[in-house]
């Protein structure tokens, strides 16, 4: 069934909780922000079905990498909603490895870049801003003691924005697009 009518009063229920919470609560905001990221990553995944990049001696498929991130975001959402699940430290190390390898083939960062060197780069950059917002919502809910969240989950969210920035840069680099620096004039 696609509807239950239970949320018609502006409330929702989270994992393992008998009480309903307001859909405008900080916990619902955190969950919704994570859902937005995951949905938008679906657009990025659909646009990268057959696109690969090479790190070290390994071909990495953008679509498969994004799918893994989407699956991990479900773990994060489950934790935020009250589950005992949390992101394993190995998942953080996996992201760090990919970021480190991407950085080896890109020019060093010396300034900010204006988004939009390529459509795919802009897509990843927008996803980066969405995960930053979700991270702020999760941290806010934690700071207000509305949720418990592991250090690993917070690290994963922070690292995910770096991964998405790296993917934005590598996708533009692969297309030979120039990264435009702001001139602040």
Residue 180 lies in a domain: no
pLDDT in tens, the chain (185 residues): 777 776 666 766 666 666 666 556 898 899 999 999 999 999 999 999 888 887 777 888 999 999 999 999 999 999 999 899 999 999 999 999 999 999 998 888 888 888 888 999 999 999 999 999 999 999 999 999 999 999 999 999 999 999 999 999 999 998 888 888 888 89
Domain encompassing residue 59: 22-174
Residue 8 lies in a domain: no
DSSP for 17-31, written as a single string: -SSEEETTSHHHHHH
CB–CB of 45/70 below 8 Å?
yes
CB–CB of 164/124 below 8 Å?
yes
Residue 185 lies in a domain: no
Residue 12 lies in a domain: no
Residue 4 lies in a domain: no
d(CA 94, CA 72): 12
* Strand 52-55, strand 58-61: pairing: antiparallel
Residue 10 lies in a domain: no
Q: Can you give the pLDDT at residue 24?
A: 64
Residue 183 lies in a domain: no
Residue 9 lies in a domain: no
CATH classification at residue 120 = 1.20.1200.10
Per the structure, the count of domains in the chain is 1
**Cβ-based neighbours of 158, under 8 Å, separated by 6 or more:** 135
Q: Can you give the pLDDT at residue 22?
A: 58
55 SS3 class: strand
């Amino acid at each position: 069934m696609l509807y239950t009518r239970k949320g018609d009063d502006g409330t929702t229920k989270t994992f393992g909780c008998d009480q309903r919470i307001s859909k405008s609560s900080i916990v619902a905001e955190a969950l919704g922000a994570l859902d937005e990221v995951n949905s938008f990553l679906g657009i990025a995944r659909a646009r990268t079905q057959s696109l690969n990049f090479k790190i070290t001696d390994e071909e990495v498929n953008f679509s498969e990498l994004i799918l893994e991130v989407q699956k991990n975001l479900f773990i994060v959402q489950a934790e935020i909603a009250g589950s005992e699940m949390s992101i394993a430290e190995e998942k953080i190390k996996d992201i760090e490895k990919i970021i480190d390898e991407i950085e080896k083939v890109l020019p060093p960062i010396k300034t900010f870049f204006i988004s939009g060197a390529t459509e795919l780069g802009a897509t990843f950059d927008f996803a980066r801003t969405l995960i930053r917002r979700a991270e702020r919502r999760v941290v806010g809910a934690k700071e207000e003691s509305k949720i418990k969240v592991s250090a690993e989950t917070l690290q994963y969210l922070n690292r995910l924005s770096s991964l998405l920035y790296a993917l934005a840069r590598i996708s533009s680099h692969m297309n030979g697009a120039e990264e435009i620096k702001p001139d602040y004039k």
